[in-house]
Amino acid sequence: MNPVITAFESSPDRGRGLARDMRVRWALEEVGQPCEVRLVSFKAMKEPAHRARNPFGQIPTYEEGDLVLFESGAIVLHVAERHAGLLPDDANARMRAIAWMFAALNTIEPPIHELANARILEGDKPWTAQRIDAIKERIRTRLGDLSVRLGETDWLDGAFSAGDLVMVHALLRLKPSGLLDEYPNLVAYVARAEARPAYQRAFAAQRAVFARSQHKARSAK
């Protein structure tokens, strides 16, 4: 039986691959594990059946036999632990790759997410512009340090790993802000990851869901 993941029935990012099911799809593609996708509406996400999978009523979730997981990082880690290809065999290198996953989720992603929140949820407040400037500075601090560490290497620590996968997916959300462009080696890093065939397949799959949802909405009019 293939694992089942959940994704937005109609993604608010309009198929740009920014929703967090993308990182799970991408990890599964990297290791060659097919999956089934259960699409959920915003309403269904907040209902008990989905909250039993994710107490916060969010996507993505992951079901495999008796195992039900939420949190994209935990799901990617599980996939990477179960299959070859996303974590090195050497114990120390493996732990360092996992540390990069945590860095992506705990150090890099939070201010990026805050920027989106400030724009979307607080865009009409008198203090928004100042807040956005402050968040951008925090993001620059993180990107500057990440850029220095990456240097001229292809990936964060040796071969491409789950750490790079989660990091790149967190960085992708920054593209429209122009902030990433201030760090050419990070732009190249993201482009290198996007060029991976597994990324391309995962991106096409989530985009097809959005295209179908648009088609359905037009036909219903």
Beta carbon nearer to ligand GSH, 10 or 185: 10
Query: How far is it, in rounded angstroms, from Cα 201 to Cα 30?
Result: 10
Measured from the CB atom, the residue of 13 and 133 that comes closer to ligand GSH is 13
In whole angstroms, the minimum distance from the beta carbon of 189 to ligand GSH comes to: 21
- Alpha-carbon span 154 to 185, nearest angstrom: 9
Cβ proximity to ligand GSH: between 30 and 183 the closer is 30
Which span (31-39, 51-59, 166-174, 189-197) binds ligand GSH, by CB under 6 A? 51-59
Q: Which is nearer to ligand GSH, 29 or 109 (CB)?
A: 109
Per-residue contact track with ligand GSH, 2 to 31, x per CB under 6 A?
-----------------xx-----------
CA atoms in the 13 A half-sphere facing the CB of 148: 5
Q: Does 58 bind ligand GSH (CB under 6 A)?
A: yes
Site string for ligand GSH, 73-92 (x = CB under 6 A): x-------------------
Contact flag: residue 71 with ligand GSH (CB under 6 A): yes
CB 6 within 8 A of CB 39: yes
With binding defined as CB under 6 A, does residue 206 bind ligand GSH? no
Q: Is 172 in the site for ligand GSH (CB under 6 A)?
A: no
Q: Minimal distance in Å, beta carbon 31 to ligand GSH?
A: 19
Distances (CA, A) of 198 to 4, 25, 134: 18, 9, 36
Taking contact as CB under 6 A, which single stretch among the options 67-75, 115-123, 153-161, 195-203 is the one that binds ligand GSH?
67-75
Query: Which residues of the chain form contacts with ligand GSH (CB under 6 A)?
Result: 19-20, 45, 57-60, 71-73
